[in-house]
Structure 1
């Protein structure tokens, strides 16, 4: 009897298990979420081959738009090229004949390579998966060497000089990095050189500088917040701090590296005001602020004597480009014999193309509020108006005739840009080479007017030729810094030997009333790495 009961239980156990499985499955199926029935449909009659009727959901449209009329004649079948032979060379010509080439690589490249193809990789989740760390260390720059004969009127020298620009860039994330810039072969405007010719030569001089030119951090607060909170941020807030460079209005208003901080509110727009893009930036510098408005008693630039605070904006509107800025230079010296050179600086510029004829920029600069102690002469007071023009030719990218003009009253100054004046970009006759001391016309625009007329031709973008005539005309024939009328003829030739080597030559001949005439000729070889 007992054996029969055990046998019956052993037979019923699998059956019970199957019943349990069936009940579980049926119960689970009962809990499966069913898709909601489709929305109400409407029939749409279509004609064609074959004719049929189809069902589509109700059409939804923005009230500001309307259906476009269908023109069936606007469509036709794809073209056929069965009778034409495939020509690979002509396919390359579609893209300007561009092919892959051996691009220059940084001299130091650690981490993922620069400008590589393919997938970048996942990165490292260190500060958050929404701001992945992908470290990369690069070292790159250029080495410039030039031989020149310079006659600045006061000095006549033949020399060879060299300059090394070295950038070291540590990328942390897609938006954060630490950057350092070094110039180890020059210091204080004096470059490693050998003066071998001329009445004022001084022989060889090796200048070694271990100081850092810039060292700063830049990043985006919005991206950093996204990484730390693991939630996408709805804003961008770029920041920078350290010994950092700033560059405004093509370097005319600000082109300096100082110890400070900056932030920007980028990529805004206003359809109501027809503004497609606008940025606002704010900056402050607390040391190494370089401006010709602050000098020591011996006339050298006093880059530890001042602070700078400012704001700038650019606005793209009305098919033009508007730039504005305000800055304040604070002279922190308390000397009773040399202080009080703080001042304000305002600037505005408007750039636009007019038809297919003219590209024009008008820039204004105004310095005010300076009151030095002991009735010392003002170093930043007055205004300047610059007008930059270029004709739009049949070769707008390579053949550019230009005419740039200026008007300066009193002593206008850039906000922060070394000892150079506002006319740096007016023409090649107003710029030196930052290497050999190449001569130039007076670039201060102090109580003077003038300009430069020239032509630039870029051939196939591998060479450059510039010829130019320029003049400076002081009011009344003389100002405090310009002793008389100045005239110059200048020319430049530049040629890319390959993707790493470049050769450039310059020549200038200047005639100065009440001063010695000037002359300069130079040949420079530059290696980029």
Structure 2
């Protein structure tokens, strides 16, 4: 078909002018203030501190940048890149605690946690830890009150050189990758063996920082309708401390722990059997962690059953526990309300010497500080009682290096006991430099059938 002459002229003109128009458009776009630059911009780190170094770093830096070292290939097919890091924390506190119905205790207490971590790969490591300044709830320091106990406390002995932590952990499929080179058989079995910290149900069922045990975990399972399922079987013997925070040299602990991750909730379910002469016990717990609207919540039900006569080590009872927290808009603050109900005499399966009772997660008025003889302002034992705490945690500054917590709490027995109490507590924390934190605590409580209770403490925590 023959095109008209004027139409041919229009096409030729468009072909000639189009590059000029597109070039001007591109030039305008490149100079536009709203256009993203083609040049990479460096990370803006102004105002942020440099990476704090550990006490010893051999191999790759902990959380450092740059190229990783070349690994060592083992006959099993695994590639290990050893790194050795030494780190820890020193805690020192001046504190006074007046329970109202017993003599006031004023002291200077110290604690040192020192760890050596040999990382062989991201999944395999050996961790050794020492606590040379305390043993079985006794801490190095000085007692000022009561006068009958005045004097220095020196708890550094030959036993201080015994590791409080010493375990190896790894994953079978990563240590022996040649068994399943295509990674299709799912040999995702993690394991740990040795003396290690262990906690179940947020510390309600088990809370111990040094338990001789072995555990085997099956990872990467897919539950129906869920994203992840994990199951762990474990056995513990030696260094077993029972519900009364005292050692039980005859105790053997057998347990099964499961974890289910669903779209709207994370479920934890655990079962434990403790064999120990006439102090046998069975324990079970289930908990759900989820968000309800804008509120983060946790609900737990835990049960203990004494298979023989009840004792301070084991008793029969139920603990209902709930946590709820909310962050107000445009802040990093935290508002929380936690509560519990103890039916009969619930007891934990394992509790370490400085772990206190199972109600420590209720709030700062119920928690053990893990240093010296400074007790919990309100009882952290849930036996036949109901109570809770509400609080506000306020952060200050762009880097949130300063915070303060205000809390009110109550403990009310459900029987005829005269141990009801209400209290107010405040905790202030301030970071200094890269390694130090100052912690200030103060509380006041009113106890039934006794005079007022009060206390305060100033603690310096140095992390290295």
Structure 1-normalised TM-score? Answer: 0.75
TM-superposed CA distance for 1:85, in Å, is: 11
Query: How far off its partner does 1:523 sit?
Result: 0.7
**Aligned-partner Cα distance in 1 for 2:58–2:375:** 42
1:238-286 CA-to-partner distances (Å, cap 9, x unmatched) read 100111222223223222222120011112223xx32012211111102
Cα contact 1:243–1:259 (8 A) shared by 2 = yes
Alignment partners' CA distance in 1, 2:365 and 2:313: 27
**CA separation of 1:452 and 1:200: change in aligned 2, threshold 3 A:** farther
Aligned to 2:197: 245
Distance in 2, Cα, partners of 1:405 & 1:286: 33
Question: How far did residue 522 of structure 1 move?
Answer: 0.6
Alignment match of 1:405 (pick from 314, 318, 339): 339
Name the structure 1 match of 2:11. Answer: none
TM-aligned CA deviation for residue 125 of structure 1? 2.0
Tell me how far apart the structure 2 counterparts of residues 450 and 376 of structure 1 sit (CA, whole Å).
Answer: 24
Q: Which has the higher contact order (CA 8 A, sep 6+)?
A: 2
Aligned equivalent of 2:392: 455
CA distance in structure 2 between the partners assigned to 1:376 and 1:449 by the alignment: 22
The alignment status of 1:266 with 2:219, answered yes or no, reads yes
Q: CA deviation at 1:458?
A: 2.0
1:116 matched to which residue of 2?
64
Gaps of 5+ in 2: 1-13, 16-24
The alpha-carbon deviation at position 463 of structure 1 amounts to: 1.6
The DSSP-based 3-state class of the residue aligned with 1:289 is: coil
Name the CA distance, whole Å, in 1 between partners of 2:289 and 2:441. 29
Rate the CA distance shift 1:459–1:77 in 2: closer, same or farther, 3 A. Answer: farther
Q: Does residue 1:512 correspond to 2:447, yes or no? A: yes
Contact 1:439 1:520 in 2 (8 A): no
Matched, 1:211 2:152: no
Match of 1:220?
Answer: 171
| In structure 1, distance between residues paired with 2:284 and 2:180 | 42
Deviation by residue 1:201-220 (Cα, 9 ceiling, x = unmatched)? 42112211222111111111
2:236 match: 285
Partner of 1:148: 95
Maintained 8 Å contact 2:279/2:311: no
Matched with 2:360 is: 424
Q: Report the CA distance between 1:122 and its aligned residue.
A: 2.3
CA contact (8 A) 1:155 1:200 kept: no
The verdict on how the C-alpha distance between 1:260 and 1:85 changes in structure 2, with shifts beyond 3 A counting, is: closer
In the alignment, structure 1 residue 387 sits paired with structure 2 residue 322: yes
Q: 1-side partners of 2:27 and 2:346: how far apart?
A: 65
Number of the residue aligned with 1:434: 370
In the other structure, the counterpart of 1:301 is 246
Q: Aligned to 2:280, which of 339, 342, 347?
A: 342
Contact 2:282 2:304 in 1 (8 A): yes
What does the per-residue CA deviation read over 1:470-523, in whole Å, with 9 as the maximum and x for residues that have no partner? 111101341xxxx32111111100011122111110011121113453211111
Work out the number of aligned pairs and report it: 428
> Per-residue CA shift, 1:137-185, capped at 9, x if unaligned?
2110111111112213323132221111111111223321111111011
Counterparts in 2 of 1:487 and 1:184: CA distance versus 1, 3 Å: same
1:231 pairs with 2:176: no
**Equivalent pair of 2:211/2:238 in contact (CA under 8 Å):** yes
User: The residue matched to 1:223 in structure 2 has which SS?
Assistant: helix
Q: The residue matched to 1:379 in structure 2 has which SS?
A: coil
> Are the counterparts in 1 of residues 201 and 285 from structure 2 also a CA contact under 8 Å?
no
Closer/same/farther in 2, CA of residues 120 and 503 from structure 1, 3 Å limit: same
1:254 aligns with 2:206: yes
Name the residue aligned to 1:192: 140
Q: Is the 8 A contact 1:131 1:173 kept in 2?
A: no
Contact 2:49-2:434 within 8 A present in 1 as well: no
Q: How far apart are the structure 2 equivalents of 1:393 and 1:345?
A: 38
Give the superposed CA RMSD. Answer: 2.8
Q: Are 1:82 and 2:31 counterparts?
A: yes
CA distance in 2, matches of 1:417, 1:454: 26
Corresponding residue to 1:471 among 406, 410, 418: 410
Q: 1:353 to 1:454 in 2, by over 3 A?
A: same
Give the whole-Å Cα distance in 2 for the aligned partners of 1:152 and 1:399: 31
Helix, strand or coil for the counterpart of 1:424? helix
When residues 350 and 503 of structure 1 are mapped into structure 2, their CA distance, relative to the original with a 3 A threshold, is same
Q: Is the 8 A contact 2:413 2:420 kept in 1?
A: yes
Q: Under a length normalisation based on structure 2, what TM-score does the superposition of the two structures give?
A: 0.85
Shifted more, 344-353 versus 107-116: the winner is 107-116
CA distance in structure 1 between the aligned counterparts of 2:348 and 2:87, rounded to whole angstroms: 30
C-alpha deviation, 1:232, in angstroms: 4.9
Three-state SS of the structure 1 residue aligned to 2:350 is: coil
From the CA coordinates, give the structure whose radius of gyration is larger: 1
- Between 1:362-371 and 1:376-385, the stretch displaced more is 376-385
Alignment of 1:132 with 2:79, yes or no, is yes
Equivalence map 1:13-28=2 (5 Å): none
User: What is the Cα deviation at residue 318 of structure 1?
Assistant: 3.7
